[in-house]
Structure 1
Amino acid sequence: MPDHIPGHIPYGHGEFEGRTVLVTGAGQGIGAAVTEAFAGLGARVAATDLGASGIDRLAGTHPSVTAYAMDVTDRHSVDDIVAKAESDLGPLDVLVNVAGILRTSPAAQLSDQDWADTFAVNTTGVFHTSRAVAARMTRRGSGCIVTVGSNAAGIPRTGMAAYAASKAAAAMFTKCLGLEVARDGIRCNVVAPGSTDTAMQRGLWSDEHAHRRVIDGDPATYRTGIPLGRIAEPHDIADAVLFLASDRARHITLQELCVDGGATLR
């Protein structure tokens, strides 16, 4: 068998060597896993978050990670940090939108503030960062944007109306953007996780049996279980992001990759 097959992209430790990646919400959970995964494959990573502790830890552990405090709800903060990251690290090749919050409440009792805060981070934050980075990618004629959404964007969830609606809006924005910039060589895709073992997920657990109910399902909340019988770990989501950001996904755009162990049955 030949060592190299035309069109085939070999796996390797330095798959993202020489590339620059910006990750939002990098301080913990999925964002931290994404940051570490890219750094482990040779990328220079701008790790951004509202708080400094998590991203400073990553920067202290991985020499190729640089921490930047950034508020995705503030377009001036986003524009300034995107410009600084490119000045410090080089042109951005990949943007990964991970920053998100979850406020739970029955829909009819949801406060104006919780609704506004949820959309400010989960939707407007994606808009701010994607707009700032896409404008630069368009001028260069290349780039990749991956938005980490949620399987809740495609299936109703009790107590999660604001979160689900905000994630659905972010996903559709990402796809519309992708349609507009495709001819400029930019790919835009969505990774939609299901239940993942993060601080956000554990914040929903009220007792020692909650973990099992997530896997088995909960008829009282109209929720199916997880056919694969396990809750995802952050690196499971990071692996999907890496694939969509890689050259092996060079002909994939406007897509939503659901990573939920089959929970949405689609």
Structure 2
Amino acid sequence: MELAGIRGRVAVVTGATGGIGSAVTSALAGHGAVVAAVDVDGGGLEALAGRLRSTPGRVEVVKADVTSAAEVAAAVDRVDAEVGPIDFLVNVAGILRTGGALDLSDEDWAATFAVNTTGVFHASRAVARRMVAAGRGGAIVTVASNAGSVPRARMAAYGPSKAASIAFTKALALELAEHSIRCNVVSPGSTDTAMLAALNGRAEAEAAAIAGDPAAFRVGIPLGKVARPSDVADAVLFLLSDHANHITMQELVVDGGAALGA
């Protein structure tokens, strides 16, 4: 089913080469959007664009580091000048540095917030400024995590960084409402991506996430499966589409019930 309000729109997706980022890019292009795929991995961007060449939409490659305000501003300026006015932004870029609060290094803490929180700020600010100036409205979705609302052992930097990005996106939504710009959050739980596999190997990590870990005060996944990147992308596209045109300041949790509705 084609979602209303996607075809022909211009979207910026950060972290576009990752598991969720590439799924979002693919879904948008599949629905006819023009997607500016942003990432630090230039080779990965070219490969992604190649894979999506036959979609109804179009993918433009934009190499930039979301931790750099200057690079993000230049990327957004380029998209606006070469592709067209930006209608959508999806903040997906993120990293995971695991470790307990007493063991985390200063570098792990700083790097986590630089990408997961400051990166969201850089991209949102740059795109929202363009949206306000254009006067066409728009939609922003930040991909956060259920760890932003539910404490997780050994995620003492990741969870807080995602909580901050959630709070920022909701505050931004309040400020941009008068410009008909909607801002929402999609918070996945365990998802079949390289980030999950890095925790303990893909099969082992999936099994552990589904079963839960009482010793770590972590429940399992009631639906009995981890999310696929496409599950998250579907939620993102809904919130960008006209079907969600009266939804803003909301967080949609896509975790199979793992957070027990928290």
Aligned equivalent of 2:43? 53
8 A Cα contact 1:15 1:42, kept in partner: no
Q: Kindly, what percent of the aligned residue pairs are identical?
A: 57
- 1:62: Cα distance to partner? 2.3
Question: 2: distance between equivalents of 1:79 and 1:209?
Answer: 40
8 A Cα contact 1:24 1:47, kept in partner: yes
Specify which of 32, 44, 69 is matched with residue 42 of structure 1: 32
Q: Compared with structure 1, are the counterparts of its residues 53 and 14 closer, same or farther at alpha carbon in structure 2 (3 Å cutoff)?
A: farther
Q: Compared with structure 1, are the counterparts of its residues 230 and 256 closer, same or farther at alpha carbon in structure 2 (3 Å cutoff)?
A: same
Q: Which moved more, 1:198-207 or 1:64-73?
A: 198-207
Question: 2: distance between equivalents of 1:208 and 1:237?
Answer: 20
Alignment length, in residue pairs?
Answer: 256
Specify which of 48, 52, 64 is matched with residue 62 of structure 1: 52
- 1:167: Cα distance to partner? 0.3
Amino acid at match of 1:131: R
Specify which of 195, 198, 205 is matched with residue 203 of structure 1: 198
Q: Deviations over 1:224-254 (max 9, x none)?
A: 0000000000000000000000000000000
Tell me, yes or no, if structure 1 residue 96 matches structure 2 residue 83.
no
- 1:16: Cα distance to partner? 1.7
- 1:213: Cα distance to partner? 1.8
Q: Deviations over 1:66-87 (max 9, x none)?
A: 1111100000000000010111
Specify which of 163, 174, 193 is matched with residue 168 of structure 1: 163
Partner of 1:161, secondary structure, is coil
Question: 2: distance between equivalents of 1:154 and 1:85?
Answer: 33
Tell me, yes or no, if structure 1 residue 105 matches structure 2 residue 105.
no
Question: 2: distance between equivalents of 1:164 and 1:182?
Answer: 27
Matches within 5 A, 1:103-182: 103-141=97-135, 142-182=137-177
Specify which of 62, 65, 73 is matched with residue 67 of structure 2: 73
Q: Deviations over 1:123-154 (max 9, x none)?
A: 00000000000011112230100000000000
Aligned equivalent of 1:4? none
Structure of larger gyration radius: 1
Amino acid at match of 1:91: P
Matches within 5 A, 1:226-265: 226-265=221-260
Q: Compared with structure 1, are the counterparts of its residues 221 and 190 closer, same or farther at alpha carbon in structure 2 (3 Å cutoff)?
A: same
Structure 2, unmatched stretches of 5+, are none
TM-score normalized with structure 2 length: 0.95
- 1:212: Cα distance to partner? 1.5
Amino acid at match of 2:52: H
Q: Compared with structure 1, are the counterparts of its residues 247 and 207 closer, same or farther at alpha carbon in structure 2 (3 Å cutoff)?
A: closer
- 1:59: Cα distance to partner? 1.3
8 A Cα contact 1:179 1:254, kept in partner: yes
Q: Deviations over 1:33-91 (max 9, x none)?
A: 00000000000000010111221112122231011111000000000000101111101
Tell me, yes or no, if structure 1 residue 18 matches structure 2 residue 8.
yes
Aligned equivalent of 1:192? 187
Question: 1: distance between equivalents of 2:180 and 2:144?
Answer: 23
Question: 2: distance between equivalents of 1:43 and 1:195?
Answer: 28
Question: 1: distance between equivalents of 2:7 and 2:75?
Answer: 22
Question: 1: distance between equivalents of 2:5 and 2:138?
Answer: 15
Q: Which moved more, 1:213-222 or 1:69-78?
A: 213-222
Tell me, yes or no, if structure 1 residue 83 matches structure 2 residue 77.
yes
- RMSD (CA atoms): 1.3
8 A Cα contact 1:29 1:199, kept in partner: yes
Partner of 2:15, secondary structure, is coil
Q: Compared with structure 1, are the counterparts of its residues 235 and 206 closer, same or farther at alpha carbon in structure 2 (3 Å cutoff)?
A: closer
